[in-house]
Copies of this chain bind each other. A is one copy, B any other.
Amino acid sequence: MSTVVSVDTSDIRFPTSERLDGSDAMNPDPDYSAAYVRIGTDAADGLEGHGFVFTIGRGNDVQAAAIRALSPWLVGRNAEELLADLGGFWRELVGDSQLRWLGPEKGVVHMAIGAVVNALWDLRAKRAGLPLWQLLSRMSPEEIVDLVDFRYLGDALTRDDALGILRAAEPGRAERERTLLAEGYPAYTTTPGWLGYADEKLERLCREAVADGFGMIKLKVGGDVDDDVRRLRIARDTVGPDLRIAIDANQRWEVGEAIAWISRLAEFDPAWIEEPTSPDDVLGHAAIARAIAPIPVATGEHCSGRVMFKQFLQAGALSVLQLDATRVAGVNENIAILLLAAKFGVPVCPHAGGVGLCEAVQHLSMFDVVAVAGTTKGRVLEYVDHLHEHFVTPVEVRGGVYHPPTTPGNGMEMLARSRERHEFRG
């Protein structure tokens, strides 16, 4: 028996804007940041649950304040009871009628709930002595659906649908886990493609991506169409015709503008076009998808929750689903999203990069292949070579694949010295 005794938040910021790492058409100068939380108990094991919301600088203090405001829901609670019913705790927080008014289920408060939920999953995985992906992959279909709130999904995915998906994937779990451990999970790299990089740097990083064994790279587009054509030509000439090149407009365009712009870039055979317009615009994405077919539309890193993903799937507005580890309300909501994607037969290729997103989201993709979708077909996990050195268990990406983490936890724990050194003091 143990009790939650502490919820410590911190505002951690890295000055990434100084080198234009992470620069794109909408985010010219991000300072990759984490509104970070540590949940402690009075258990003798001394284990802590760590979680965070990734932000890009200003406002990280507000995000941290929102996490701090959730401590009354945690401090003094029986830890074993909380960890044994994370589905119930999720519903308690997300369903709190007064908090709910501030979204509902979107924005700062929703992401704060995600940080807390993820930190509890970290603690649960550490107690179990398993990396999160293995912990989830060994739960029964019934235990997994109990984690999910099916509210508002009824016209697309029921509890029975979800059970059917999970049961269908059950027989091959052990074999897929072995394959994953032996062969890894396919990665792609966004490292070459930031908009602020000079052509020479783009070319050099494209060559390195090929040499590193990646099967796909991603380039930021949307600033200027002639620049995009030139940069895509450099990239295509450098990587050859077979390596896939995805492009990412980071919400830059109007619907009609997106269609025209993408048509200009079609000759470079894009693997997908990511975030062509407002992340809230289901109907706009659907119109773009129809107009540019067969080029796939990808989106999700700014998708506020499962109700929006449901609609993107219903409308055929995306054909690559890019969930994010810290945009929605944590592991539980991301399981709902993985199940929705499986129901619609759409591959999940998560958003990563930032700070700690690769470390975190790989667990969801690995759970997906072992226990939900049951395949890596059409799936590829974003990789950016930034800031991994700040984590207790940095990702291992070699030969173009993610090698599964074996350390207990959710991967989000940042080194204490990094947290201290990069604490933001205004």
The interface of chain A, by Cβ under 8 A from chain B, is 26-31, 55-59, 61-63, 65-66, 69, 96-112, 151-152, 154-155, 251, 254-257, 277-284, 287, 302, 304-305, 307-308, 310-311, 314-315
Sort A-B residue pairs by CB-CB distance and give the 7 closest, nearest first: A107-B107, A154-B254, A57-B98, A58-B98, A108-B108, A152-B278, A155-B255
| Least Cβ–Cβ distance between A117 and chain B, in angstroms | 17
A69 to chain B, nearest CB (A): 5
Are B55 and A108 within 8 A (Cβ)? no
7 A–B contacts, CB within 8 A, in A order: A30-B97, A58-B99, A59-B98, A59-B109, A62-B112, A107-B304, A282-B311
A287 lies within 8 A of B155 (CB)? yes
Given A30-B97, A155-B255, A155-B256, are A104 and B279 also a contact pair (CB < 8 Å)? yes
How far, in whole Å, are A292 and B64 apart by their CA atoms in the complex?
44
Residues of B within 8 A of A251 (CB): 104
**Known contacts A61-B69, A105-B280; A98 and B254 CB within 8 A of each other:** no
Additional pairs, 10, CB under 8 Å, beyond known A56-B98, A105-B280, A154-B254: A55-B102, A59-B109, A102-B111, A103-B107, A106-B106, A107-B107, A154-B255, A278-B307, A280-B304, A281-B307
Q: Are A55 and B98 in contact (CB under 8 A)?
A: yes
Q: How far is the CB of A399 from chain B (nearest CB, A)?
A: 32
Q: What's the minimum C-beta distance from A180 to chain B, rounded to whole angstroms?
A: 32
- Contact between B154 and A59, CB atoms less than 8 A apart: no
Q: Which of B104, B280, B310 is the one whose CB lies under 8 Å from A302?
A: B104
Is the pair B105, A108 in contact by a Cβ cutoff of 8 Å? Answer: no
> What's the Cα separation between A86 and B109 when bound, in Å?
28
Q: Is the CB of B108 within 8 A of A109?
A: yes
| Chain B contacts for A66, CB-based, 8 A | 62, 65, 108
Inter-chain contacts of A280 with B (CB < 8 A): 105-106, 304-305, 307-308, 311
- Minimum CB–CB distance from A103 to chain B (whole Å) comes to 6
Instruction: Give the distance in Å from the alpha carbon of A58 to the alpha carbon of B154 in the complex.
Output: 29
**Shortest beta-carbon distance from A153 to chain B in Å:** 8
* A283: nearest chain-B partner, CB-CB: B311
**From A99, which residue of chain B is reached at the shortest CB distance?**
B59
Of the candidates A97, A110, A277, A308, the one having the most CB atoms from chain B within 10 angstroms of its own CB is: A97
Q: In the assembled complex, which residues on chain B have CB atoms less than 8 Å from the CB atom of A155? A: 254-256, 284, 287
Contact B257 A154 (CB under 8 A): yes
Min CB–CB distance A105 → chain B (angstroms): 7
**In the assembled complex, which residues on chain B have CB atoms less than 8 Å from the CB atom of A305?**
280
Bound Cα distance from A106 to B107, whole angstroms? 6
